Structure 1
Amino acid sequence: MWLTLFYSCTGGAALVYTLYRWVIPAAVQYHGGLALMWHDVIVERLLDTLTQSTRPQRLLGAVQKNATRGDPRSVVRAIDHFCRHKEWAMNVGDEKGCILDSVVSEVNPAAVLELGTYCGYSTVRIASLLPPHAKLITLEFNPDFAAIARQVIAWAGLEEKVQLVEGASGDWIPKMKEQFGVKTFDLVFLDHWKDRYLPDTKLMEECGLLRKGSVLLADNVICPGTPDYLEYVRSSPRYTSQYFKSHLEYTKVEDGLEKSVFLG
C-alpha cells in the first residue's frame, strides 16, 4: 500500500513538473495572452511565494553569478540565458534587442531617453553602444525595479553614462530641460506602460524635446499592443514610420518595434 502511494505521489509530482517546465510553456509559445498570463502572472507569483523573493531579485542574482563585472555584453547574455532557460521576464529580449542595437548604432545619439527601465536590460544594451560623452536618461515608475536596475547597470560598469530617474513619465517629461539641461533627444525608446506611449509622445512634442530627425523606437506595439500610438505615428504628417517584425521576448508570439522619425 505504502509503495503504491509512494509511486503515485512520485508519478504525480513528475507529471506536474513536466507540465510546469515543458508542456505548458511550449503550449503558450504562440499565444500572446496565454504567454503573458502564464509567465507574468502565474509563474511569477508562484516563484515569488516559493522563494520569498521577486523576479527582479532573481534576475539580479543571475547577473551577479554569471556575468563579468564591467562587461555589458556579458550582463546581457546572463539575462537572456536566465529568461530563456530559467524564468521569463519582460525585457525587450535578445531578438528585438538586436533591432534596438542596430537603431542605436545607426542614430549614434548624444542624448537618449528611455521610458521604462524595468531591470536595466535595454538600458545596458543602449548605453554600451553610445559614443563617448553621450548620456542616457532612463525613467522608471516602480522604485523596486529601479533599485534592481541600478545594481544591474553598475555591474555592467555603465553608471557614468546612465541617469536613472524614479517617477512617472508624465511628471518628468515637462521637467527634462530644466532638471537635466537637455535641449532635445536624438533617440527615445518607449517600453513602459503601453497606454502612455501616445500621451507621452504628444507631451514630448509639446515640451520641444523632439527635433527634426529625432527617432522614436517603440517596443511591444503588437503584443500587448499600442493601436492608438501606431495609428498616430503612421498617419501623422509629423512622422515617417517603419515596422520591424519580430517576436514577443523569448516566445514565438508575433510582436515588433516601430521606428518613427520626427519630421518637425
Structure 2
Amino acid sequence: MTVQLYLRRSSGRSEMVSPAIVLAFVPLLVTLIIRYRYHFLLLYRAVLVRMVLDCTTGISREERAFQYLLTHSLPGDPDSILDTFDHWSSRVEYMSNIGPKKGKVLDRLITDNTPLTVLELGTHCGYSAVRIARGLPLGARLYSVEMDECNAAIAEKVIRLAGFDDDTVELIVSPSEEVIPQLRERFGIERLDFVFMDHWKRCYLRDLQLLEGSGLLGKGSIILADNIIFPGAPHFLRYVKSSGLYQHRIHQATLEYFRGIRDGMAELTFIGTK
C-alpha cells in the first residue's frame, strides 16, 4: 500500500508530499542532534530541570544551592565553600559559576597582580566573589555588583558564610550602568586594579566604555571577561581588538561544568591611548 502525505493549501486543494522528501531531512536532523547534543543537554539541565524543581520545591535554584552549602560545607572555609559549590553545579543542579578550571585563570591573575581595588560585575550567588576574595592581599577590597535583589540576598549569605566581612567584600545591589559612574564619588575609588565581568554579555561593551569614561582604568589595569565565546560577546571582542587601548589575550576553555561546549575568557590589560 502506498503511503501518501498531504499538505493543504489555503485554496482548499491538497497536494501529495512524497515520503522520500520527508525522509531526506532525517539525516540532517540526526546530524544536528549529534552535533549539538551538549547544547540540548545544557537546555535540559539549566532550564527544564530548574523549572520543575522551582515548582516542586517552592524555592529558587539559588536558595536550593545555599541550603546545600549550609549542610555540606565548612563555614569560614572559602575552599570548602567553592568545592561544595562545584559539586552542586556539576552533580546536583547546574549553575553557571566560573567553575574550577576557568577559575584557575582568575586565581592566577589575582595572585600575580595583587590588586588592591577590584570590581566584579555580576555577583550572582557569590561563587566568584569568594574565589576572588580568598586570593586578595591584606587591605584589598572587592566591590561586587549585582542587579537582582534575590540573587544578591543569597550572595550576601554565601560571602559571609565563607568568612568575608563588608570590609573585604562590599556587595552593591544596583544595575552596573548606574554603579560605574558613581564609583569615584560614592565609594571614593580613584583607580580599579582589576575588573571581573560575568554579568549580561550584551552589557560587556557598554560597561567597558563606561569604565573608560569614568577614568577609573589606569595603565596596567586588568579586565577579565568570562563567557566571551558562549553565550558570546562579539561586539565587545571587536571593540577590544580595534580600539588600541588594550593588550588582549583569549584563554580557550569549555563552558563551566560542560566539556562539550567551547568557551573562553578575554584578559585585557589597559595601556591607554597611543
Short-chain TM bin = 0.7 to 0.9
* Cα deviation code 1:9-50 (max 9, x no counterpart): xxxxxxxxxxxxxxxxxx999656434422322111111111
1:106 deviates by 1.6
**Where does structure 2 lack aligned partners over 5 or more consecutive residues?**
1-32
* Cα deviation code 1:210-234 (max 9, x no counterpart): 0000000000000000001111112
Q: Percent identity?
A: 41
Q: Distance in 1 between matches of 2:202 and 2:156?
A: 25
Q: Does 1:84 pair with 2:85? A: no
4+ residue runs over 4 A deviation: 27-33
Q: Distance in 1 between matches of 2:175 and 2:207?
A: 10
Listed as ranges, the matches of 1:1-264 within 5 Å are 33-159=39-165, 160-252=167-259, 253-264=261-272
Which residue is 2:14 aligned to?
none
Q: 1:35/1:176 Cα in 2 relative to 1: closer, same or farther (>3 Å)?
A: farther
Conserved in 2, the CA contact under 8 Å of 1:30 and 1:251? Answer: no
Q: Distance in 2 between matches of 1:243 and 1:152?
A: 30
Q: Distance in 2 between matches of 1:200 and 1:194?
A: 10
**Where does structure 1 lack aligned partners over 5 or more consecutive residues?**
1-26
1:147 deviates by 0.2
Q: Distance in 2 between matches of 1:201 and 1:60?
A: 31
The Cα RMSD (Å) is 1.5
* Cα deviation code 1:57-101 (max 9, x no counterpart): 111011111111111110000100111110110111111111111
In terms of fraction of residues, the more helix-rich structure is 1
* Structure with greater contact order relative to length (CA < 8 Å, sep ≥ 6): 1
Conserved in 2, the CA contact under 8 Å of 1:29 and 1:251? Answer: no
* Cα deviation code 1:116-157 (max 9, x no counterpart): 000000000000100001000000010000000000000000
- Larger-gyration structure (1/2): 2
Q: Distance in 2 between matches of 1:45 and 1:192?
A: 21
TM-score by length of 2: 0.84
